[in-house]
Amino acid sequence: MSTRKYIGITVLVLILIVIIFAGGMLYKMKQFNDVEQYLSRQEDAAKSNREKLKGRFILKGAKCAGFTFTGNKTVLWTNEMFCNDPDSLNIQWINDSTFTTKSITRNNTDCPPGVELYEIVSYNSSSLLLKSTWLGWGEHDPEILEFTKAE
């Protein structure tokens, strides 16, 4: 083979390598954009629940126990025995239907804060059904909690 053929083949190989590399980069960029769009949609969906879930929800069968959703960062939990002294909890939305709550007040320095995971099973303007999962120490089975919107 002549030197021209070697140079021609080398140039073609280099062009193919550049095309393959550029194609790989474009593919990664598309994947990144797909992930970015997915995360953006998840964030929008979670925001929509954050915006919709406002006000006071009383636990079924209770006089005053329940949640008061006050904003994006905090929620109040009222115990049945202390109707006028609700506990403030941090709330963090994980996705459209799942959030965690964590106690703000530290009652015992030897214990971690109370943390629970909630999944919205169903929600409309007058009722809320949550699956509650305890994430702290001890064994507790998940339970379904039914709430009615307070007027």
Q: Tell me, what's the pLDDT at 144?
A: 95
Q: Tell me, what's the pLDDT at 124?
A: 85
Nearest to 126 by CA among 103, 146, 102, 140: 146
Query: Does 8 score more than 70 pLDDT?
Result: yes
Average confidence score pLDDT of the chain: 82
Residue 57, burial from CB neighbour count under 10 angstroms (0-12, 13-18, 19+): buried
Q: Does the model's pTM come out above 0.75?
A: no
Please report which confidence band the pLDDT of residue 43 belongs to, taking 50, 70 and 90 as the band edges: low
Query: Does 102 score more than 60 pLDDT?
Result: yes
Map residue 4 onto helix, strand or coil.
helix
